Structure 1
Amino acid sequence: MLASMLGAFFGTARAPMTGAPEPDGGTLWSQFAVVRSNPSYLWLLALGCTQFLAVGVMLAAAPYFASYVLGDPKATSTLFAALIGPILLTMPLWVRLSKRYEKRGAMLLAGLLFGGGTAAATATPLLGALYAHLMLFVVGVGFAGVQLLQFSMLADVIALDAASTGKRRAGVFTGLWTAIESAVSSFGALIFGAVLSMGGFVSSDPGRPVVQPESAISAVLLGQTAVPAFIIFLAVLMTFRYRLTAEHVLHDPQQPSASGEIRPAAP
């Protein structure tokens, strides 16, 4: 890690700067004023927040799902591996799909895989732990596409803003994106906690399971499956409203069209 950081620093130390320097982002309110004038960014941020929320709920639920549904607290690590593993394996696939079906089409497919795998995991009590891991792998494939395409679409929005305003404001857009992502992901844990509370869950460490009422076990299962599936399917519906696609392109990437759209950048 240190070697790569030093290599990146010394390798780019003398690289020339292009374009005007990015202005200071200013206060938080001034940054909100900047993004408020960019509807494409606001819609993409809303889409991303919905996806972040679904992921946040799933991550909060995973240890409880392993302990109380699978009956094995140690399965938390293998569930995370099934979810995260496909990110490295399927990134090239999602790049190809985004070129063939446009980013919006690929995002729809990623969201459907994410939501479909999550919803299908509801059958875990009937089909067992192996089935749960296979469904989490399907979710991971969709999650990989969501992660890649979110940032690729964000790059399109930033490029459009630079082309239409002549200002470099990538720091403002990415800074707010990162801050809001962290906040929304944390809110997912609150949602899962509320689901547990409604199910009558007896407070305990998921690493040391205690006897729970059936309603609490059901709450854990739904918190890991049905609740994030519902949220991610909302994101799928929102994706249909995303309009920054190549089919609307009339000009080069650096020249906004009359409708204010540009050719999206490659992932």
Structure 2
Amino acid sequence: MSTHSGLPRRVRTGYGLGSVATGSFGTVPGLLLLPFLTDHIGIAAGLAGLIVLLPKAWDVLLNPIAGRISDASTHPGGRRRPFLLRAGTALALLFVLLFAGPTAPTWLGALWVAVAFLACATAYAFFQVPYVAMPAELTRDPAERTRLMTWRVAILALAILLSGGLAPVIRDLGGATWGYRLVGLFVGLLILFGTYAAWRGTAGAPLADIPAPSAGLGEQLRLVAGDRNFRLLLLTYVLQALAIGCLLAGVDYVARWSMGRSGASTILFICFVAPALIVTPLWQLVAAKAGKRWGYGAATLCLLLGALAVFAAKGRSLAVLAAAVAVIGIGYAGAQLFPLAMLPDVAAVDADRTGENRIGVFTGVWTGAETLGLALGPGLYAAVLAAGGYVSSSGGEVEQSTRAVTAIHLGFSLVPAVVIALSLLALARYRLDERSVRESATTRHTS
């Protein structure tokens, strides 16, 4: 391994472009799959929530296995990179099929989406886990990992903005027959681009040569679960993924029923994502001055204040609601940057302590739990809709009761706020900082 901690611009850019794939797949189903099920196929909100949740819940079991497999890989093209190309290409093709199936009868449409989404989740596991594992092996410098994550989060914000901002527009332009199918094709192409860019851009990058673990998967999971800092960081991130998933699922409903304007969904979505393009470098400066842990706390507080502001904006103008959503977006940028830079630190300290590379298992548990959190978000939002008496339809919009409209707003504001507050309590107990990471690396190097 090279002792030089600075990564070439090509590697930073190439690795960051992989977020085009992760951002597109992580955003568009959370934004449009639930409305596709309830208002296009006509599936009841409760069942639609289960269809969104269960394939992602499968990843909780699959992701640690994917991590173990990539940890043990001896492929001449690299331990992680071959997984990116194969799984990412499969994901792109499967995503096109997700929205291309039958919509009638209702049961057949529901079955098609459930099976296709399960296949997408399986392919995504073998892309996402090796992809997220790579920073711990690309550099040993915690500050360089933050810089690498800054590139990734900035590109992630662009990818989310592009995919999530244009997907509703493409759906509306395509009409009832072709709208969602064109969305599937559009996002599939984005995933394919991000896949190839990450695979190509990281070619030849020097990776840390740490032996694969000798223990079985069960023993590794037990050891990973015993890492207190990892547990707390994971719990914080998963709770926030749940809250973000709930917010994303509510955008389309809030635009149509609270604002009375379907096109408002694009405005709200842009206000959620666009701040990251500006504030992500500023969050990096916060990390340099105060540390990642304190920066993550500040970002989480922004998330909480933004969600409470959205709750207070009920009945007000679109401009007021958009401003409140922008506050969430500022927090969201930091809530992506900091934990993704902190996870490799946790895994690196574990590798220094044990002499074995368990980053794939750490990442597998992390991404599996994150995926579950993002899937639980729409499921939780669907449950709120069902409790409010939301009426699904396959023949266009139907009149909703005042109670249902209230549920739409609560699921988009107060419910995520409570979840974010719980995540802040978990983060307050996290203790690993940059000094500890550097001391761990120095101890291993001199021993």
Q: Indicate if the aligned counterparts of 1:160 and 1:256 stay in contact, CA closer than 8 A.
A: no
- Name the SS for the 2:356 alignment partner: coil
Classify 1:52/1:34 alpha carbon distance in 2 versus 1 (closer, same or farther; 3 Å): same
Q: Indicate if the aligned counterparts of 1:108 and 1:239 stay in contact, CA closer than 8 A.
A: yes
Classify 1:93/1:199 alpha carbon distance in 2 versus 1 (closer, same or farther; 3 Å): same
Equivalent in the alignment of 2:386: 197
Q: Indicate if the aligned counterparts of 1:79 and 1:133 stay in contact, CA closer than 8 A.
A: yes
Q: Indicate if the aligned counterparts of 1:67 and 1:209 stay in contact, CA closer than 8 A.
A: no
Give yes or no for the alignment of 1:209 onto 2:406.
no
CA distance in structure 2 between the aligned counterparts of 1:226 and 1:208, rounded to whole angstroms? 28
Q: Which residue of the other structure, out of 1, 8, 15, is the alignment partner of 2:201? A: 8
CA distance in structure 1 between the aligned counterparts of 2:272 and 2:399, rounded to whole angstroms? 28
Structure 1 unmatched runs, 5+ = 258-267
Q: Indicate if the aligned counterparts of 2:211 and 2:355 stay in contact, CA closer than 8 A.
A: no
CA distance in structure 1 between the aligned counterparts of 2:415 and 2:375, rounded to whole angstroms? 16
Classify 1:185/1:17 alpha carbon distance in 2 versus 1 (closer, same or farther; 3 Å): closer
CA distance in structure 1 between the aligned counterparts of 2:249 and 2:315, rounded to whole angstroms? 23
Equivalent in the alignment of 1:243: 431
Equivalent in the alignment of 1:50: 239
Two-structure CA RMSD over aligned residues (Å): 2.5
Classify 1:118/1:16 alpha carbon distance in 2 versus 1 (closer, same or farther; 3 Å): closer
Q: CA deviation at 1:201?
A: 1.7
* CA deviation profile, 1:31-79 (whole Å, cap 9, x unmatched): 4223123221111111111111101111111111111111111221221
CA distance in structure 1 between the aligned counterparts of 2:437 and 2:340, rounded to whole angstroms? 23
Equivalent in the alignment of 1:121: 310
Equivalent in the alignment of 2:230: 41
Classify 1:6/1:45 alpha carbon distance in 2 versus 1 (closer, same or farther; 3 Å): closer
Give yes or no for the alignment of 1:225 onto 2:413.
yes
Q: Indicate if the aligned counterparts of 1:164 and 1:256 stay in contact, CA closer than 8 A.
A: no
Q: Indicate if the aligned counterparts of 2:276 and 2:332 stay in contact, CA closer than 8 A.
A: yes
**Counterpart of 2:421 in structure 1: which amino acid?**
F
Q: Indicate if the aligned counterparts of 1:66 and 1:76 stay in contact, CA closer than 8 A.
A: yes
> Counterparts in 2 of 1:170-181, with a 5 A limit?
170-181=359-370
Question: Where do 4+ consecutive residues of structure 1 move more than 6 Å?
Answer: none
**Counterpart of 2:314 in structure 1: which amino acid?**
P
Equivalent in the alignment of 1:166: 355
% identity of equivalent residues: 33
Classify 1:116/1:42 alpha carbon distance in 2 versus 1 (closer, same or farther; 3 Å): same
Q: Which residue of the other structure, out of 209, 212, 227, is the alignment partner of 1:19? A: 209
Classify 1:216/1:251 alpha carbon distance in 2 versus 1 (closer, same or farther; 3 Å): closer
CA distance in structure 1 between the aligned counterparts of 2:215 and 2:266, rounded to whole angstroms? 40
Q: CA deviation at 1:150?
A: 0.9
Q: CA deviation at 1:204?
A: 3.8
CA distance in structure 1 between the aligned counterparts of 2:226 and 2:310, rounded to whole angstroms? 41
**Counterpart of 2:439 in structure 1: which amino acid?**
D
Q: Indicate if the aligned counterparts of 2:296 and 2:338 stay in contact, CA closer than 8 A.
A: yes
Give yes or no for the alignment of 1:183 onto 2:376.
no
- Name the SS for the 2:314 alignment partner: helix
Q: CA deviation at 1:142?
A: 0.2
TM-score (norm. length: structure 1): 0.85
Q: Indicate if the aligned counterparts of 1:196 and 1:219 stay in contact, CA closer than 8 A.
A: yes
**Counterpart of 1:59 in structure 2: which amino acid?**
L
Equivalent in the alignment of 2:100: none
Q: Which residue of the other structure, out of 141, 156, 177, is the alignment partner of 2:345? A: 156
- Name the SS for the 1:95 alignment partner: helix
Q: CA deviation at 1:127?
A: 2.2
Classify 1:241/1:220 alpha carbon distance in 2 versus 1 (closer, same or farther; 3 Å): same
